[in-house]
Structure 1
Amino acid sequence: MRWLIPSIAALSLAVPSSHATAAPGPAEPPCRAGTAPYQRELERELRLPVDGRQSTADCVAVRRLQQRLGIRPADGAASLRTYRLVVADRVRRDPAARRGCPAKPYRVTCVDLTRQILWVQKGRGLVFAPVPIRTGRDGLETRRGWQRIYWKNRDHFSTIYNVPMPYAQFFNGGQALHGTRADLFSSGSGGCVNLALGDAKRLYALLAKGDRLHIWGTKPGTGG
């Protein structure tokens, strides 16, 4: 039986121990994003010291937040895009943050011009989670108040602006909810409520002709 001893010893060396320490994963690269326009807002959101100046700790905290929300690139920069997506996430999680929109027993599409987000609720329950939007620029503001969807067109094309308006749902004259490939975080629309294409497609499938919208607030940088 002595010949078995070296074989068993060799086998014990070949089989990894269940108590072996796992190899550490790759270290994250240094966070080097500088101060960005929404520095103070994200410092408040993350309960960091609010001084409006990016520190290494700020950068790392913002990057971790971006990673949690799936924001790309997750570079730690306090950009408008990051801020808007953080606001949308907060409104999703906190019913108190949705109180600007009236609770009704039917579906209401809530368009918050001030925070530039949209969601759909029935009572106080969410049926379409908050998403960032782009509304009318100065002089072409999205019209406020109660509105109603009066026409839907999946493949609409604007002859006025010479642009496609996929998943269009018209609520006031030529103003509509619709998808766009344009940057939602710059400039503004001609009065329509622009959504990312995927969001516009989901909203088109949810809403019906006659559904109500409530639009309130003031888009930053506009007069109304």
Structure 2
Amino acid sequence: MKRYSSVVRRVVLAAAAVALAAGCTPDASGAGTGTGTGPAPSSAAPRTSAPSSTPTTDGKPSSPAPSAATPTPTSSTGTPAPKPLMGDGDENEQVRELQARLRQLDFFDRAPTGFYGTMTAGAVRKFQARRGLPETGSVDETTWQTLLSVTRKPTADELKPSTTNKLDTPDPRCMTGRVLCISKESRTLAWMIDGKVVSSMDVRFGSENTPTREGLFKVEWKAREWTSTIYHTPMPYAMFFSRGQAVHYSADFAARGYAGASHGCVNVRDRAKLSALFDQVKVGDKVVVHW
């Protein structure tokens, strides 16, 4: 009997050693932690962990049910985030009005396009910062109502202006008579009669080496078709005002924009507008070139 008891004792000790080797470690109370307690009997089914989700009919696990309802998006202050009225990628007439109103405040320096892109978003952020609003770059109801309160309803010309560049404040010399009022600051030409703008267009000037002269001049002579005798380039609708410098159409300006420059003349890129202007301007009309 003693010999049988010693054999049993050795078997129990051996089993305990196997359990320790399998990873069971005692907790503070001395009880084993973890799931393993030694080899499972061969007749028992292997133990598996419970599935984390319920299988769907297509064999893919379904998402586990959330423990709580999905919260409503909120702003940094904890209040519900306002729904945007306009934002990146939008293209409509309300966006055009937005751009025209921002342009009234000098936050947007391009002609309204009706498309909400990065430039519009940047202009909106500047306006929001000035007014102490969250700088989201998109227009919510608060931003829109604030903008409406500090601007006026845009005119048809403001919504679809005749020039890409915004007209500069006219030089005082442009406020009387018939004048080609040309601003180097805004790169525009305004045809004015008694202080009123009749038409306007974008212009380009000479380079640093061949600058366009500034000052008060008059139209000396005109030529509907002309070719430069120095540079041998076409100068349609030329209106000469200062020793060979003229306002004229430039195909290069129309093609390359401000990537190039003239040899001192005032280039116009809208041929149709200049053609109409050419018919209105008379020899002797004033020309003012200013900053």
> In structure 1, what is the equivalent of residue 125 of structure 2?
49
Change (3 A) 1:100 1:138: farther
**For residues 193 and 204 of structure 1, what CA distance do their matches in structure 2 show?**
14
Change (3 A) 1:87 1:100: farther
Percent of residue pairs identical: 24
- Whichever residue aligns with residue 279 of structure 2, its letter is A
Which residue, 219, 243, 247 being the options, matches 1:149? 219
> In structure 2, what is the equivalent of residue 161 of structure 1?
231
> In structure 2, what is the equivalent of residue 130 of structure 1?
200
**Aligned-pair RMSD on alpha carbons?**
3.5
Report which of the two has the higher share of strand: 1
Name which structure has the greater RCO, CA cutoff 8 Å, separation 6+: 1
**For residues 215 and 201 of structure 2, what CA distance do their matches in structure 1 show?**
20
CA drift of 1:188 comes to: 1.3
CA drift of 1:56 comes to: 7.3
> In structure 2, what is the equivalent of residue 112 of structure 1?
183
Q: Could you tell me whether the CA contact under 8 Å between 2:165 and 2:187 is conserved in 1?
A: no
TM-score computed with the length of structure 1 as normaliser: 0.57
1:85 aligns with 2:155: no
> In structure 1, what is the equivalent of residue 240 of structure 2?
170
> In structure 1, what is the equivalent of residue 283 of structure 2?
209
TM-score computed with the length of structure 2 as normaliser: 0.45
1:188 aligns with 2:261: yes
Change (3 A) 1:203 1:56: same
Aligned length, in residue pairs: 153
Q: Could you tell me whether the CA contact under 8 Å between 1:177 and 1:200 is conserved in 2?
A: no
Matches within 5 A, 1:64-75: 69=160
Structure whose CA Rg is larger: 2
- Structure 1's consecutive aligned runs of 4 or more residues displaced over 4 angstroms after TM superposition are 55-58
Q: For residues 34-56 of structure 1, what are the alpha-carbon distances to aligned partners after superposition, in whole Å with 9 as ceiling and x for unaligned?
A: xxxxxxx97812652239xxx97
Q: Which runs of 5+ in 1 are unaligned?
A: 1-28, 32-40, 59-67, 72-83, 92-96, 218-224
CA drift of 1:57 comes to: 4.3
